[in-house]
Amino acid sequence: MLSITRMAVIAALGAAAQLRAQAPPSGYQFGACRSPSPARYTAGPVRSSYVGMPDGTRIAVDVVLPEPQGSGVRFPTVLQITRYWRAGEGDPPNATQRFFTSRGYATVWMDVRGTGASTGIWRRSRSPAETRDYAEVAEWVARQPWSDGTVSGWGISYGANTADFLAAETGRRVKAIIPLFPDYDAYNDLLFPGGVFHLAFGKLWSESVKQQDLNVARPGPDGRTRGIRPVDGDSGQELLRQAIAGRDTVPDMYQGIKLITFKDDDPPGYAGSYAERSIHAHARALEASGAAMFAWGSWMDAGTANGVLHRFATLKNPQRAVIGAWSHAARYAASPFLPPDSPLDPSIEQQQLEQLCFMDTFVKNQPTGMKNRQLIYYTMGEERWKTTAVWPPRGSRPVVWYLGQDSTLRRQPPSAADAADRYAVDFAATTGTTNRWYTQRGGGDVIYPDRTEADRRLLTYTTEPLQQDLEITGTPVVTLNIRSTATDGAFFVYLEDVAPDGRVTYLTEGQLRAQNRKVSTDRPPYRLFGPYHTHLRKDAVPLVPGQVAELNFGLLPTSVLIRKGHRIRIAIAGADRDSFAPVAETEAPVITVERNRVHPSRIVLPVVARPTQR
């Protein structure tokens, strides 16, 4: 049932959203490869056991095999590694296990150490001890009599990140991975985008997983409330109680996250900074694994699209990638030009079939016709799927718009010698609680209501109506020349579409903490499509109150078609109350945005020529 809040949001979108008809999909058909593995098996029973680690930690795993197996038949294995319980007590095989086993894949679901029924202590995501366990379990899988020795990783969100580390930790053991909505750079793409703390996730997520680790019962897929599944033979759950014992004295992850400001900060007990423990820092090992990769992300889900593009452009592994307009985990369609209840494109079944085609191609070596290197992406507003082998796509060119007088955004550079706009930071400004950041907590729908009222709290600049359709595909880059009354601050820039009827539609955003503004000339850890900010403590530069400073940073990438007659807007804020921790001193700072010929402020949009415009 829809919540009252969500019903109100949908009602507010009203008839205007309903008028935006969805164009028929084109350019790519999901799950349509040649001769995918047929569904000729059924999922066998769940068999749970412990796998011992060299340090004595016991890792809980669930094994589900295809049936009937036949004498001497062995299967490739899909391994999911999670910290969200491999299963609840009494749960049957889940939909993903049933899907893969029916097509001739064994499945193994694993609780990471210190979570679920596994023993040990979990203090933070993907500690060195945790990721070493992945390789041990993969080797255990390869030795089983039902295994053909082939292991592949699959997972969503945390499970996507573990799939990456599984490949990096196991040498050539892992043939393929499907990381769905991973954090390629967890600092930049999720927890501290632009150096600004994503408080809503950091605090609420850590509280949630702490409850899971203490075995607080929760509803399952069937609505039944249950706790963690114990391993087979633990009928009295004594082994499970032993695994959980002592976890209540372990600080939740937020206690460490809130001590972090810079990417190289390493709080006590954290076992590595985000500069060390995100998969981008292990790119050499990931690439050396040779594992084929099929990463999925969304233009509307935190920074997952950013990570997919950085991976695709950097690593030489066999790669396919998908970027859609979805909520986290692709359970809701999230194009801002469609009604919130629009059907998924592709459907869940088509998504699964696409993943099967990938596994059949790179694990079973079946001739499916699937290409080795391809990025499939969705253009919002046009509501169409497209493909490319390179990024940015061919035909992209940078087009500059300048901040001008009377809140305008114009192609001509400013001519005035001294022109600027003052803005007192409004700490009540918000993008709401159904935005791209909140979907990371459970995969809820992404809904941005009309931004007209929200923009009244911000500093905005808007173009004249467009004379023709304009496609923006890539990473917009903004340059703000500012003065502030404070020595630091958070700067948010939103890219928006203004319709002829006045409706303001959110498209994407970028943020930067002012002290992290230094543009580095060092080599970045992956290919970037905008300025490089290290976010390291050594590169911090406080603002000097009253002195001009340049903020040059990329927005989160997007692909969107803005229609003829619509206008482009950028809106500037100093806070997002419901999502990010405020960067404030004793009172709200006043910023001055310079827009003159000495200090022009501008945005560069990656514009792709339309077929009729080439």
Section 200-226 average pLDDT: 92
Could you tell me the pLDDT band of residue 204, with boundaries at 50, 70 and 90?
very high
What's the pLDDT at 612? Answer: 63
Which residue did the predictor score with more confidence, 3 or 141? 141
Could you tell me the pLDDT band of residue 311, with boundaries at 50, 70 and 90?
very high
Both tokens of residue 520? 């580095």
* Active-site residue, selected from the candidate residues 125, 127, 152, 157: 157
Q: Tell me which residue of 387, 336, 345 sits closest to 509, measured CA to CA.
A: 336
In this structure, are residues 87 and 108 in contact, taking their beta carbons and an 8 Å threshold? Answer: no
* Active-site residue, selected from the candidate residues 282, 328, 566, 599: 328
| % the chain with pLDDT above 90 | 89
Section 486-494 average pLDDT: 97
Section 288-314 average pLDDT: 98
Section 148-155 average pLDDT: 98
Amino acid at 310: H
Both tokens of residue 479? 């340059």
Could you tell me the pLDDT band of residue 423, with boundaries at 50, 70 and 90?
very high
Q: Tell me which residue of 456, 427, 437, 459 sits closest to 576, measured CA to CA.
A: 427
What's the pLDDT at 62? Answer: 98
Both tokens of residue 379? 């253009």
What's the pLDDT at 11? Answer: 39
What's the pLDDT at 22? Answer: 37
The predicted-structure confidence for 113-146, as pLDDT tens digits, reads as follows 999 999 999 988 999 999 999 999 999 999 999 9
DSSP letters of 229-276? PPPTT-TT-HHHHHHHTTGGGSPPTHHHHTT--STT---TT--S-HHH
| % the chain with pLDDT above 70 | 95
Both tokens of residue 470? 């304009």
* Active-site residue, selected from the candidate residues 111, 301, 445, 539: 301
- The CATH label, of 2.170.120.12, 3.40.50.1820, 3.40.50.2300, 1.10.3720.10, for the domain at 40-336+361-373 is 3.40.50.1820
- C-alpha radius of gyration, the chain, whole number: 25
| pTM for the model | 0.94
The predicted-structure confidence for 530-587, as pLDDT tens digits, reads as follows 999 999 999 999 999 999 999 999 999 999 999 999 999 999 999 999 999 999 766 8
Half-sphere exposure of 305 (CA within 13 A, CB side): 30
Question: CB atoms < 10 A from the CB of 5, how many?
Answer: 12
| Confidence check: pLDDT of 5 > 90 | no
Query: Mean pLDDT over all residues of the chain?
Result: 93
The domain limits of the chain are 40-336+361-373, 396-613
| Confidence check: pLDDT of 427 > 50 | yes
In this structure, are residues 501 and 16 in contact, taking their beta carbons and an 8 Å threshold? Answer: yes
The predicted-structure confidence for 439-454, as pLDDT tens digits, reads as follows 999 999 999 999 999 9
- 3-state DSSP assignment of residue 91: coil
Which residue did the predictor score with more confidence, 294 or 22? 294
Q: Going by DSSP bridges, is the β-strand pair 396-404/602-608 parallel, antiparallel, or unpaired? A: antiparallel
465 secondary structure, DSSP code? P
The predicted-structure confidence for 593-605, as pLDDT tens digits, reads as follows 999 999 999 999 9
The predicted-structure confidence for 56-114, as pLDDT tens digits, reads as follows 999 999 999 999 988 889 999 999 999 999 999 999 999 999 999 999 999 999 999 99
Question: Peptide bond preceding 68: is omega within 30 degrees of 0, i.e. cis?
Answer: yes
| Confidence check: pLDDT of 24 > 80 | no
Active site includes 157?
A: yes
Could you tell me the pLDDT band of residue 220, with boundaries at 50, 70 and 90?
confident
What's the pLDDT at 610? Answer: 80
Could you tell me the pLDDT band of residue 268, with boundaries at 50, 70 and 90?
confident
CATH 2.30.42.10 fits 396-613, yes or no: no
Question: CB atoms < 10 A from the CB of 489, how many?
Answer: 25
Same fold: 40-336+361-373 with 396-613: no
